[in-house]
């Protein structure tokens, strides 16, 4: 241990390297039910050179390295189960450049989503990917985060134009270019985004940004049944209406929202929607959507055009997880995260709700249904072994249901340790290719070892 610390400190300041117990504990967990595990050392790089130095030391001592943003991930990605070093990117939080005319921004990995959007607003621009949490952009790239706006703007991977990455041996590469498209070489942007710290540490990201839409309308629609709500979504998508957000919540979740956000929404299957565009086009889209809603027996369709009411609606939706946590002190959150082809979505949600009812623990369903992605959010008492076991079985049932229908075990939260046991089933022979890539890029398996894939 002493020799690693000395090697690290040969190029890092003392305050950049710590074994302090409190700091280690802060880096031992994520926001969910996953078991904690302490890193031996936490390092705080300030530059690409620092990260390169850290990786060279890690390679020399064959020490595991776990990158860390703000720890908001949900499948144990940032928990160092093999201890070693956690690399905390909070000091690398500069917005390096905003290229207004190119609709590009270059940031360090520790910049958070809200920090970026605050700055972009000055230019009439915004960064659309919105996983709810105020995550770092490095973390969002590492897990290929998405969220409410992906149905229109795409996921994190779609926004990444280039990344600077420090590899396992400390060398530094760029994964892309500043061009809007390229057919040059293998698609390293795509490979590194979503690699969850297992292939390299991101030290700089160049991301696509967008002009703030001229006009925004939000709406809330309620339906008698899940199927009617989801069928309405399918009809909207098939009509080619360029909807910017379409979120589903079940009755149990509306109850939590009403309690936490002091709303008075009807306790029914509900869609939250948002439209972006020019005023005339948007009105036509909204009118068409209204018709579709009516065709699917929509009970209530309420618009929020002013900014304050719109923000309140989305705050209410975004605070769902906190509403559940707040309402169930002492319990831990587990979130399922499958995505299925949209034609399978209504039945998948009905299935998940029935299974959740059997569990007898508090929980609800919500989802980015335009992408076929939904979550079961359940609150579990970690001291009750039977409850924990049942919750895990519920998660597994939902995953198996999705995989049998051509879906994925994780739409947006990533694999970490929570979805590792389903990788073989989902990817089959392709998992071997993933292992070969991991082995080629990190032969000693020191980069966030045994996340995504187990390397023997």
Binders of its own copies among 91-110, rule CB under 8 A?
99-104
Cβ-count burial of 389 within 10 angstroms (0-12 exposed, 13-18 middle, 19+ buried)? exposed
109: closest CA among 151, 74, 139? 139
264 belongs to the binding site for its own copies (CB under 8 A): no
453 belongs to the binding site for its own copies (CB under 8 A): yes
Binding pattern for the stretch 147-186 against its own copies, x by CB under 8 A and - elsewhere: ---x---xx-xx--------x---xxxxx-xxxxxxxxxx
Cβ-count burial of 314 within 10 angstroms (0-12 exposed, 13-18 middle, 19+ buried)? middle
439 belongs to the binding site for its own copies (CB under 8 A): yes
CA distance 69 to 115: 14
Stretch that binds its own copies, among 12-20, 49-57, 295-303, 399-407 (CB under 8 A): 399-407
Distances (CA, A) of 390 to 32, 187, 334, 360, 400: 16, 41, 12, 10, 15
Residues in contact with 379: Cβ distance below 8 Å, sequence separation at least 6, in sequence order: 324, 325, 327, 328, 331, 332, 333, 334, 361, 362, 363
193 belongs to the binding site for its own copies (CB under 8 A): yes
Binders of its own copies among 26-85, rule CB under 8 A?
none
Question: 24, 296, 419, 451: which one contacts its own copies (CB under 8 A)?
Answer: 419
Give the nearest distance from C-beta 180 to its own copies in angstroms: 4
Give the nearest distance from C-beta 12 to its own copies in angstroms: 23
Ordered DSSP codes for 236-289: HHHTT--EEEEEEE-HHHHHHHHHHH-----SS-EEEEEEEE-HHHHHHHHHHH
Cβ-count burial of 429 within 10 angstroms (0-12 exposed, 13-18 middle, 19+ buried)? exposed
Binders of its own copies among 324-363, rule CB under 8 A?
337-343
427 belongs to the binding site for its own copies (CB under 8 A): yes
Residue 38 or 216 having the CB closest to its own copies: 216
DSSP letter assigned to residue 68: E
418 belongs to the binding site for its own copies (CB under 8 A): no
207 belongs to the binding site for its own copies (CB under 8 A): no
234 belongs to the binding site for its own copies (CB under 8 A): yes
Residue 328 or 375 having the CB closest to its own copies: 375
Give the nearest distance from C-beta 419 to its own copies in angstroms: 7
CA distance 153 to 371: 11
Question: 423, 446, 447, 449: which one contacts its own copies (CB under 8 A)?
Answer: 423
Question: 409, 445, 448, 451: which one contacts its own copies (CB under 8 A)?
Answer: 409
Question: Which residues, listed in sequence order, are joined to residue 112 by a DSSP beta bridge?
Answer: 136
Helix, strand, coil shares of the chain, percent, nearest 5, are 40, 20, 40
Give the nearest distance from C-beta 185 to its own copies in angstroms: 5
Question: 31, 37, 61, 213: which one contacts its own copies (CB under 8 A)?
Answer: 213
Residue 42 or 232 having the CB closest to its own copies: 232
């Amino acid at each position: 241990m002493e020799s690693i610390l000395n090697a690290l400190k040969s190029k890092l300041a003392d305050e950049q390297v710590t074994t302090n117990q409190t700091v280690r504990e802060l880096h031992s967990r994520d926001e969910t039910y996953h078991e904690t595990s302490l890193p031996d050392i936490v390092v705080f790089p300030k530059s690409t050179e620092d990260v390169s130095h850290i990786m060279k030391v890690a390679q020399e001592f064959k020490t595991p390295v776990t990158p860390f943003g703000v720890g908001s991930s949900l499948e144990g990605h940032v928990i160092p189960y093999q201890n070693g070093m956690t690399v905390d990117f909070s000091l690398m939080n500069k917005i390096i450049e905003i290229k207004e005319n190119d609709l590009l921004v270059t940031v360090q990995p520790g910049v958070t989503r809200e920090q970026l959007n605050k700055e972009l607003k000055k230019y009439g621009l915004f960064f659309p990917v919105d996983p709810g949490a105020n995550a770092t952009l490095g973390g969002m790239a590492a897990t290929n985060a998405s969220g409410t706006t992906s149905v229109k703007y795409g996921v994190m991977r779609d926004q990444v134009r280039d990344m600077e990455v420090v590899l396992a041996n400390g060398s530094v590469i760029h994964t892309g270019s500043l061009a809007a498209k390229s057919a040059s070489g293998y698609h390293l942007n795509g490979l590194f985004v979503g690699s969850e710290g297992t292939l390299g540490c991101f030290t700089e990201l160049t991301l696509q940004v967008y002009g703030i839409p001229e006009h925004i309308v939000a709406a809330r629609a309620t339906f008698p049944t899940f199927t009617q709500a989801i069928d309405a979504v399918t009809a909207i998508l098939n009509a080619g209406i360029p909807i910017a957000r379409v979120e589903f919540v079940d009755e149990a979740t509306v109850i939590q929202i009403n309690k936490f956000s002091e709303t008075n929404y009807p306790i029914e299957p509900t869609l939250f929607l948002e439209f972006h565009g020019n005023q005339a086009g948007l009105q036509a889209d909204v009118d068409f959507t209204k018709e579709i809603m009516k065709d699917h027996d929509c009970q209530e369709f309420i618009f929020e055009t002013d900014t304050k009411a719109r923000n309140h609606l989305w705050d209410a939706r975004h605070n769902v997880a906190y509403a559940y946590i707040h309402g169930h002190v002492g319990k831990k959150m587990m979130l399922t995260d499958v995505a299925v082809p949209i034609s399978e979505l209504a039945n998948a949600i009905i299935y998940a709700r029935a299974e959740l009812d059997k569990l007898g623990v508090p929980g609800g369903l919500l989802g980015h249904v335009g992408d076929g992605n939904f979550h079961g959010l359940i609150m579990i008492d970690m001291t009750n072994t039977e409850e924990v076991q049942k919750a895990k079985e519920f998660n597994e049932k939902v995953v198996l249901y999705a995989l049998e229908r051509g879906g994925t075990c994780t739409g947006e939260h990533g694999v970490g340790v929570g979805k590792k046991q389903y990788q073989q089933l989902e990817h089959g022979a392709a998992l071997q290719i993933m292992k070969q890539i991991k082995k080629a890029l990190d032969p000693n398996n020191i980069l966030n070892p045994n996340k995504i894939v187990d390397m023997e």
